[in-house]
Chain A
């Protein structure tokens, strides 16, 4: 059928558009010349140099450190906040949820400059702490938004039953509610981690000269020419995410099959 061929071609072109830059980037991480655009031969030297390049390694260290800390802290605050918001009266709930939407709906740059003004006002030195606080701030709303639907699905009599049987509210929270909403918590934490790793705009405005993450390093390199070690690093990061994804996918599909067998 012509129609089917057309659809295939269209899909192919769209995916080519999405992946062309990524493929180019990966290919050029093996290029022996430093200049982009000219292929001069195959080499692994950028991968070796990557582990000697202090600028890039420091940036990677801060990127990962901020992402891990920000996602853990925002998941904890966000989980408790979501449980609290779920139990609020409808008017208060509406107000808090609307305020919670602000950082999601506001352009990144507005959130960034507003935090920059705040930190300057509070006289905090720009650096690791300010960047971490900013990341936590823009992560929490996403954590809450991914947990709330799970709380809505939760049978509210479960916690009541636990408490009738003698559990304290905190014990019921820990043993009944949290395990039930775990998928939402995990999703929230993953979203927070990804957002944090990929963030540029908010970090750019809220960090000091000593602390830079990968995005900021890439942005400042773009003016003087990107060092190919960055290509090497991104190739490694991209491939590790891809492999992780394939493993997760395989395992969940196996789970589904397994469950299907039992039923």
Chain B
């Protein structure tokens, strides 16, 4: 049946609201001057040159480091969790997965903000520390707090894809390995881990991408002092009004994400190619 025409409205929509806006960002990033008045702009690479300043490179470095750290922590915390859930009995399994999804239905800004109540100077954790007779710690407005916020918000994105791959692993493979004399560790490193790579790859991308581009977590828990690349974009567009520079930063961010996704995709393919047999 020929029903191709039903997609035409969306193709028009896509052209207007997805493709043209991205081209506009690209256009802004390589021009300067008043772009809204045609004829008063010039093509230039100054916006990208400006980004090469150590101040901005440091921001980029900090964003990538924090995103990588939070991805690693999410993986280390999430993988065992996904394994525990995948081995539980059906009813418990579904309940636990549901428990992972439910927090996402509470506004994420509010959940992140609630950490301030727990970690703040007069917060619950410091209250416990003080009542034990120790000096209160400053737990918020630093890199560690941002890291905590990232891990807290993105942990489900690591657990869910790994879990969905783990439950599909054929149990007879594991039994066969055990019958042939593999130890528990060997079963894990040579059967379970390689077979779960697709889940790990999507978990990595789903945590790394929002972590590297966030500006909300850093401005709530970092207290505005610790700027990430997302904050830089926000600042250029909403406060400084330098849309050309802001667009250039967005392009840099997109390039980094594309590179990391290409690396991830390659990893995935390699494993599919010959990892198992």
Q: Which residues of A contact B (CB under 8 A)?
A: 7, 10-11, 14-15, 17-22, 24-25, 28, 36-38, 77-78, 80-85, 87-88, 96, 99-100, 102-103, 105-111, 113-118, 120-121, 133-134, 136-137, 140, 144, 156, 159-160, 163, 169, 172-173, 194, 198, 200-201, 205, 214-215, 218-219, 222, 226, 230-231, 234, 237-238, 241-242, 245, 249
Chain B residue with minimal CB distance to A28? B117
Which residues of chain B are near A230, meaning CB under 8 Å? 110
A83 near B109 with CB under 8 A, answer no
**Shortest Cβ gap from B109 to chain A (Å):** 5
Which residues of chain B are near A205, meaning CB under 8 Å? 237-238
**A37-B122, A116-B237 given as contacts; is B109 within 8 A of A222 (CB)?**
yes
Is B220 in the interface zone, CB < 8 Å from A? yes
A237 near B106 with CB under 8 A, answer yes
A140 near B108 with CB under 8 A, answer no
Is B266 in the interface zone, CB < 8 Å from A? no
B106 near A218 with CB under 8 A, answer no
Interface 1/0s, chain B 127-161, versus A by CB < 8 A?
10000000000000000000000001001100000
Which residues of chain A are near B102, meaning CB under 8 Å? 241-242, 245
- 6 A-B pairs with the lowest CB-CB distances in the bound complex, closest first: A84-B7, A107-B213, A114-B21, A81-B10, A21-B114, A84-B6
Q: Give Cα A172 to B2, complex, Å.
A: 12
Q: Give Cα A169 to B209, complex, Å.
A: 42
Is B165 in the interface zone, CB < 8 Å from A? no
- A-contacting 9-mer, from B40-48, B173-181, B186-194, B245-253: B245-253
B7 near A88 with CB under 8 A, answer yes
Which residues of chain B are near A17, meaning CB under 8 Å? 152, 155
Task: Give the residue of A14, A18, A37, A87 whose beta carbon is less than 8 angstroms from that of B1.
Answer: A87
Task: Give the residue of A80, A120, A200 whose beta carbon is less than 8 angstroms from that of B10.
Answer: A80
A115 near B21 with CB under 8 A, answer yes
Number of A-B contacts (CB under 8 A): 213
Chain B CB within 10 A, most for which of A38, A81, A144: A81
Interface 1/0s, chain B 17-30, versus A by CB < 8 A?
11111101100100
**Shortest Cβ gap from A72 to chain B (Å):** 15
Q: Which residues of B contact A (CB under 8 A)?
A: 1-11, 13-14, 16-22, 24-25, 28, 36, 77, 80-81, 84, 96, 98-100, 102-118, 120, 122-124, 127, 152, 155-156, 209-210, 212-213, 215-216, 220, 230, 233-234, 237-238, 243, 246-247, 250, 253-254, 257, 261
Task: Give the residue of A22, A106, A113, A249 whose beta carbon is less than 8 angstroms from that of B114.
Answer: A22
Which residues of chain B are near A88, meaning CB under 8 Å? 4, 7
B81 near A100 with CB under 8 A, answer no
A218 near B110 with CB under 8 A, answer yes
B109 near A84 with CB under 8 A, answer no
**Shortest Cβ gap from B168 to chain A (Å):** 16
Q: Is the interface of B mostly helix, strand, loop or mixed?
A: helix
Chain A residue with minimal CB distance to B92? A11
Instruction: Jot down 23 A-B pairs with beta carbons below 8 A, ordered by A.
Output: A10-B81, A14-B77, A18-B155, A25-B114, A37-B123, A81-B6, A81-B10, A87-B3, A108-B210, A109-B234, A109-B250, A114-B22, A114-B24, A117-B24, A117-B25, A121-B36, A137-B13, A194-B104, A205-B238, A215-B109, A230-B110, A234-B110, A238-B106
**Shortest Cβ gap from B225 to chain A (Å):** 14
Chain B CB within 10 A, most for which of A110, A156, A231, A245: A110
B21 near A118 with CB under 8 A, answer yes
Other A-B contacts than A80-B6, A87-B2, A106-B257, 18 sampled, CB-CB below 8 A, are A10-B84, A18-B99, A21-B152, A22-B103, A25-B106, A25-B110, A37-B127, A82-B7, A88-B4, A96-B14, A107-B209, A115-B17, A137-B17, A173-B3, A215-B109, A219-B216, A226-B110, A231-B110
B103 near A19 with CB under 8 A, answer yes
A118 near B20 with CB under 8 A, answer yes
B233 near A109 with CB under 8 A, answer yes
Which residues of chain A are near B8, meaning CB under 8 Å? 84
Chain B residue with minimal CB distance to A221? B113
A110 near B254 with CB under 8 A, answer yes
**Shortest Cβ gap from A50 to chain B (Å):** 14
Q: Give Cα A214 to B109, complex, Å.
A: 10
A114 near B254 with CB under 8 A, answer no
A22 near B210 with CB under 8 A, answer no
B9 near A80 with CB under 8 A, answer yes
Chain A CB within 10 A, most for which of B7, B100, B109, B213: B7
Chain B residue with minimal CB distance to A241? B105
Q: Give Cα A120 to B5, complex, Å.
A: 31
B110 near A121 with CB under 8 A, answer no
Which residues of chain B are near A194, meaning CB under 8 Å? 104-105
A113 near B237 with CB under 8 A, answer yes
A99 near B19 with CB under 8 A, answer yes
Task: Give the residue of B2, B25, B115, B152 whose beta carbon is less than 8 angstroms from that of A113.
Answer: B25
